[in-house]
């Protein structure tokens, strides 16, 4: 039985290490994708049984992605394989080039993901009744998958509605990516999609992405977070939990990191504060936060502790390269208990 299922694109990430994309001669290859990263973290760090619904072109590159997913312990049985035409004319696999940044130079992502197999998923392609009748406890998707094409919005809507019918807890992360919406209505269109889909969700991660009139429209200061979350709660009256990371970026390598959440029972609460957090690679930290939060909510420890799990897991993911979590539950709990960076022998 699977605990958590995610719907999203899984790409190959090409990492030039300490170098730049435009001058690199070698890259390290990882797998990654906003929705996938969540279930990968839930599997490897928190020990839950997870699966990903995605689509890949059936060629050597797609099989490499599959192999990386298998190494992460995530069930691949729900992958939809699309025949390969030899050059990617009909469908291809997504690539994501990411440099980490350093000091005053911020991280940079250059994605190559148009016309991918997963972007061509359509309503009816996945038997969601079969997926959710097998005892799934939680379903997660987000704005990255929904933003891939006009058809993926309908797939996400169909999946979330089916999950709700089966009593599965649903989470959604707006996760706005401007590059996905260029020439397709921009931030205004993304906002419309986010509100349509988030209304199916019990838990909204990255909830501050729904503050303002469109994604990125406002920058919410720390003292404005309670009011901003209250405004989002009005927009999403069915949501039980709204959560968000809070980040200040003095430099690419040093971030001030915290979090906040809202629920009907608790009102607005804040997570652990981690000022001056040294960052090796920030990509994937928001997904790691979502994984820790979901773990806490599934285990029934309460929103305050769930928020702490998310904050600590996100912090630890920033200390290692790649999108995906290399942290252990013991490390997360040690950090929450005030553990230090002293050598352990």
Domain assignment of residue 120, given as a range: 4-337
Residue among 8, 123, 116, 120 nearest 62 (CA): 116
The answer for residues whose C-beta is within 8 angstroms of residue 334's C-beta and 6 or more apart is none
Six-digit token string for 219: 């920058």
Q: What pLDDT, on the 0 to 100 scale, is given for residue 340?
A: 58
Least confident of 74-83, 150-159, 211-220, 242-251: 211-220
The answer for residues whose C-beta is within 8 angstroms of residue 78's C-beta and 6 or more apart is 5, 51, 52, 53, 54, 126, 131
16 belongs to a structural domain: yes
Residue 20 has pLDDT above 80, yes or no: yes
State the total domains in the chain: 1
Q: Which helix (H) or strand (E) holds 284?
A: none
Task: Kindly state the average pLDDT of the residues 283-310.
Answer: 97
CA distance 114 to 103: 31
* 47 phi, psi to nearest 5 deg: 75, 15
Task: Kindly state the average pLDDT of the residues 257-265.
Answer: 96
Percent of the chain whose predicted confidence (pLDDT) is above 90 = 93
CATH number for position 276:
3.40.1190.20
Q: pLDDT tens digit string along 193-208?
A: 999 999 999 999 999 9
pLDDT-based confidence at residue 297 (cuts at 50, 70, 90)? very high
Task: Kindly state the average pLDDT of the residues 236-242.
Answer: 96
What is the chain's mean pLDDT, rounded?
95
CB 230 within 8 A of CB 242: no
CB 119 within 8 A of CB 149: yes
342 belongs to a structural domain: no
343 belongs to a structural domain: no
Percent of the chain whose predicted confidence (pLDDT) is above 70 = 98
pLDDT-based confidence at residue 339 (cuts at 50, 70, 90)? low
DSSP for residue 257: E
Instruction: Give one DSSP letter per residue of 89-156, joined into a string.
Output: SS-B--EEEEE--BTTB--EEEEE-TTBTGGG--TTSS-HHHHHTT---EEEEEHHHHTS-HHHHHHH
Instruction: Give one DSSP letter per residue of 204-238, joined into a string.
Output: EETGGGGSSSSTTS----GGGHHHHHHHHHHH-TT
83 belongs to a structural domain: yes
345 belongs to a structural domain: no
240 belongs to a structural domain: yes
Q: What pLDDT, on the 0 to 100 scale, is given for residue 343?
A: 41
Residue 146 has pLDDT above 50, yes or no: yes
Helix (H, G, I), strand (E, B) or coil at 60: helix
């Amino acid at each position: 039985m699977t605990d958590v299922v995610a719907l999203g694109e899984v790409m190959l990430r090409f990492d030039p290490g300490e170098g730049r994309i435009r001058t690199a001669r070698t890259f390290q290859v990882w797998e990654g994708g906003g929705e996938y990263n969540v279930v990968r973290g839930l599997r490897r760090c928190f020990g839950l049984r997870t699966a990903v619904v995605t689509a890949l072109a059936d060629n050597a590159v797609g099989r490499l992605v599959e192999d990386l997913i298998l190494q992460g312990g995530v069930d691949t049985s729900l992958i939809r394989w699309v025949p390969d035409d030899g050059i990617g004319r009909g469908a291809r696999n997504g690539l994501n080039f990411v440099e980490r940044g350093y000091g005053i130079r911020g991280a940079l992502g250059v994605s190559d993901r148009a016309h991918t197999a997963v972007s061509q998923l359509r309503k009816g392609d996945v038997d969601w009744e079969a997926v959710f009748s097998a005892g799934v406890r939680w379903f997660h998707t987000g704005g990255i998958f929904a933003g891939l094409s006009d058809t993926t919005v309908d797939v996400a809507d169909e999946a979330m509605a089916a999950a709700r019918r089966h009593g599965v807890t649903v989470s959604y992360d707006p996760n706005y990516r401007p590059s996905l919406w260029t020439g397709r209505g921009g931030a205004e269109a993304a906002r419309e999609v986010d509100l349509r889909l988030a209304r199916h969700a019990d838990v909204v991660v990255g909830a501050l992405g729904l503050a303002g009139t469109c994604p990125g429209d406002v920058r919410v200061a720390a003292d404005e977070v309670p009011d901003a979350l209250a405004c989002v709660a009005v927009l999403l009256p069915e949501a039980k939990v709204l959560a968000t990371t809070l980040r200040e970026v003095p430099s690419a390598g040093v971030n001030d990191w915290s979090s906040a959440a809202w629920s009907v029972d608790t009102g607005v609460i804040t997570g652990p504060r981690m000022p001056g957090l040294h960052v090796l690679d920030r990509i994937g930290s928001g997904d790691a936060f979502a994984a820790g939060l979901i773990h806490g909510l599934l285990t029934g420890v309460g929103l305050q502790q769930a928020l702490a799990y998310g904050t600590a897991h996100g912090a630890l993911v920033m200390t290692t390269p790649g999108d995906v979590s290399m942290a252990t539950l013991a490390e997360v709990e040690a950090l929450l208990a005030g553990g230090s960076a002293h050598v352990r022998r």
